[in-house]
Structures are given as C-alpha cells and as structure tokens.
C-alpha cells in the first residue's frame, strides 16, 4: 500500500523568509519523498520545486504607515489565503517569520483544526510581547533561531526548539564563483534592501556617498526582485557597478559594506565584511516604532552580541556626511580589527550549522 502524501502549506512573506523556507523545503524533501508543498514565497522556493501561489514581491510591506497605505491589499491577501488553505486542506501549516500576517493566519488555521508550526519566531522580545498569548493559543510548535529566544519563551512557560541560525547553513554551502577583490581601489558593497519602500528612503543617501567618495569602488548588490528602474542616477557614475541577484558574490569580494537593517546585516558579518548599518523610514512609522520597540539596537549583529559592535545610522543620523565618516572608519586598522574579532565571537554564539535539517526533522517527526 502506498504511503499517503503529506500536504504542507508554507507562508514566507519576505526575501529572507523565502531563502530560509527554500532550505527547509529542501531538507524536508531529503527526509521524505511523499510531500506536496504549496507556498507563499519567492524565487528560492521556486528553485527547490515548490508551487508558489503568492510571490513575495506582492507581500513585502514595512512600517506602520506603509501598511496602512496597503491595507486593502493585505486584507485581500488574508482572504485569499484562507480560501486557498480550505481548498488545499494541508496536514501542516508552516509559518516563516512575517508576523503581522502569519499570526492572523495562525489563529484562523488553529480554529479549523490545522496543525500550525512557526519557524523563525516573530521578534516578540523586541515589541508586542503581549502577542505571546497568541503563540501559546494558536501555535502547536515553535522553532527559534536566535540563542536568547529559548530563554525568552521559557520565561513565558512556552516550550520551543532552538535549531540554530539557518544563515550558517546557507553560507557554509556557498561556493564562490569569484575570488577576493583584487581591484586597485577598496571595494564597498551597497545593500540598500529588498523592499521598494526602504530602497526609496535609503538609496539616495548611499548614492550621495558614492558621488563624493572617488577613492572607493562601489558595487550595488541589487536584490533579485528589484529592477534598475527602482534606482536613480546610477549609470553615469564611473565608481559604481551594479550586480543583480548575486549578493554573496559581492560580499565575498568586498572590503566594507553599507547595509540596510535586516537579515543582510548578519549575512555581511558572517562573510567577515566590516559594515555600517543603515535605517530610514517614514517619519511617522519611525516615531511609532520608537515608542513601542524596546531593544537597544536595530541590527541583528548588535542584538545577538548585546553591544554596539557595528555602527547604526538611524533616521536623521543617516545622512551623506555621517555615512562617509563611518565608512572611512571601517578602514581604520584598529576599528577594523575590533569589528572582525566581534564577528568571530558572533559565529560562536550562533552555534553550529544544520538548522534547516534539524527543523525538518522536528517538523516531520512530531
């Protein structure tokens, strides 16, 4: 008698979630050939053979005000998701980060008797700790990737499984197609983000730094979901090159980096590239965030180490003069050595690789 196919519905709403979801799918497929995946994700999920029904380019909204502007789309996506889940009838619903949307779906799915697994916890330790009740009531299994998250949930008497950070797997498996930078000038990677809204805020500041710093070769690592049309005035600059969808190739050659806050800050650190972290959003979104978010840092590097290893330029502090000053400091030998030593400590804190395989095993063996 043939083994019945297990149906998996997975929702990842952002670029980093797409990457980690794809690696989880790959690991689950290695453990079982009898899996049918239906996914909200992006190009990474497509490449591992998952049927993607909603692409992340339709889903990535950031900031309080920006979410309000796109509320009609978000509500339509929620309604579509519920209809699609009912039609697919999954054995397991796997939610990857993306909390504003996924926590709503978790509550609805639980009411329909669907097993809910959350992979990559919402950052409840940073804000909205009150959402812990939603996790307790609506999530059957929580898999966390940051070492301090296990203690956070233990404080709230919720069992979670710490699987390690999946970026360690991704970077360990990466085979560079290029060697270290051998150009005449120091090479600076520019990572302005994967969402159009953040690019519009941060790119003009980065661009001004490019115009004023002729002593560096800048390389824009454009996310695969972005277009050159999303960026302004770049073709006429002799010290700026554009590379699309090959961020790791850029990072492995880079001597320094200017990076928008997010998963990319951790990726940059794991490639041992000294960085300046950039954040700028709508003024009202930032004001609201400042009143509710209770962490001291915005970059994963500083959050995990619980100290300001890398410089964070936030909101009005993110201007061309400050950006150039902090970029130049990345080439100061003492500062550079301090950052690289901190990166080595960061890798130890994150633990061993194998997060995707460990998560797959836990999900399929429950």
pTM metric for this prediction:
0.80
- For the record, the structure tokens of 159 come out as 């069992």
Q: Is the Cβ–Cβ distance between 115 and 36 less than 8 Å? A: no
Q: Mind listing the domains of the chain with CATH numbers?
A: 6-165+353-365 (3.40.50.2000), 187-350 (3.40.50.2000)
Q: What is the pLDDT of residue 180?
A: 65
The alpha carbon of residue 93 and the mean position of all alpha carbons in its chain are separated, in whole angstroms, by 20
- For the record, the structure tokens of 336 come out as 């550079």
Q: What is the pLDDT of residue 136?
A: 95
CA proximity to 309, closest of 335, 286, 279: 335
* Residue indicated by tokens 């999900």: 363
Residue spans of the chain under pLDDT 50: 1-2, 62-65
Q: What is the pLDDT of residue 110?
A: 97
Q: What is the pLDDT of residue 344?
A: 96
Ranges of beta strands (E only) in the chain are 6-12, 35-41, 51-55, 92-96, 115-119, 141-144, 161-162, 187-191, 217-222, 240-244, 256-260, 275-279, 311-314
The alpha carbon of residue 266 and the mean position of all alpha carbons in its chain are separated, in whole angstroms, by 9
CA gap 20, 16 in Å, rounded? 6
CA gap 112, 241 in Å, rounded? 51
- Cα-based distances in Å from 155 to 22, 125, 241: 31, 11, 48
- Cα-based distances in Å from 326 to 70, 209, 308: 35, 11, 14
* Residue indicated by tokens 């196919």: 5
Residue 146: CA count within 13 A, CB half-sphere: 22
Kind plus residue range of the DSSP H or E element containing 340: helix 333-350
CA gap 229, 129 in Å, rounded? 39
SS (H, E, C) 167-233: HHHHHHHCCCCCCCCCCCCCEEEEECCCCHHHHHHHHHHHHHHHHHCCCCEEEEEECCCCCHHHCCC
- For the record, the structure tokens of 196 come out as 């159009």
């Amino acid at each position: 008698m043939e083994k019945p196919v297990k149906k998996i519905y997975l929702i990842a709403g952002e670029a980093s979630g797409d990457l980690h979801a794809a690696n989880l799918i790959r690991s689950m497929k290695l453990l079982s050939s009898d899996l049918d995946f239906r996914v909200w994700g992006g190009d990474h999920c497509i490449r591992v053979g998952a049927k993607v029904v909603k692409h992340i380019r339709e889903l990535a909204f950031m900031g309080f005000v920006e979410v309000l502007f796109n509320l009609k789309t978000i509500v339509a996506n929620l309604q579509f998701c519920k209809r699609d889940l009912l039609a697919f009838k999954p054995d397991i619903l796997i939610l990857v980060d993306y909390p504003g949307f996924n926590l709503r779906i978790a509550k609805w799915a639980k009411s329909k008797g669907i097993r809910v697994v959350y992979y990559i916890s919402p950052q409840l330790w940073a804000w909205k700790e009150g959402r812990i009740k939603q996790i307790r009531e609506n999530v059957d299994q929580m898999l966390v990737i940051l070492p301090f998250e296990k203690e956070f949930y233990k404080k709230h008497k919720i069992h979670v499984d710490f699987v390690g950070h999946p970026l360690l797997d991704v970077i360990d498996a990466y085979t560079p197609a290029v060697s270290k930078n051998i150009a005449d000038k120091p090479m600076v990677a520019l990572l302005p983000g994967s969402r159009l809204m953040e690019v519009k805020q941060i790119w003009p500041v980065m661009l001004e730094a490019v115009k004023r710093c002729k002593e560096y070769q800048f390389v824009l690592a454009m996310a695969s979901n972005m277009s050159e049309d999303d960026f302004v005035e770049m073709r006429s600059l002799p010290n700026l090159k554009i590379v699309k969808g090959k961020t790791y190739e850029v990072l492995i050659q880079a001597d320094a980096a200017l990076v928008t806050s997010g998963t990319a800050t951790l990726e940059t650190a794991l490639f041992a590239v000294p960085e300046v972290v950039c954040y700028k959003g709508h003024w009202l979104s930032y004001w609201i965030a400042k009143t509710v978010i209770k962490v001291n840092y915005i970059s994963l590097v500083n959050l995990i180490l619980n100290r300001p290893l890398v410089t964070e330029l936030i909101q009005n502090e993110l201007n061309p003069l400050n950006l150039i000053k902090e970029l130049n400091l990345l080439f100061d030998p003492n500062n550079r050595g301090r950052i690289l030593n901190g990166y080595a400590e960061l890798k130890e804190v994150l633990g061993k690789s194998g997060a995707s395989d460990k998560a797959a095993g836990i999900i399929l063996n429950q």
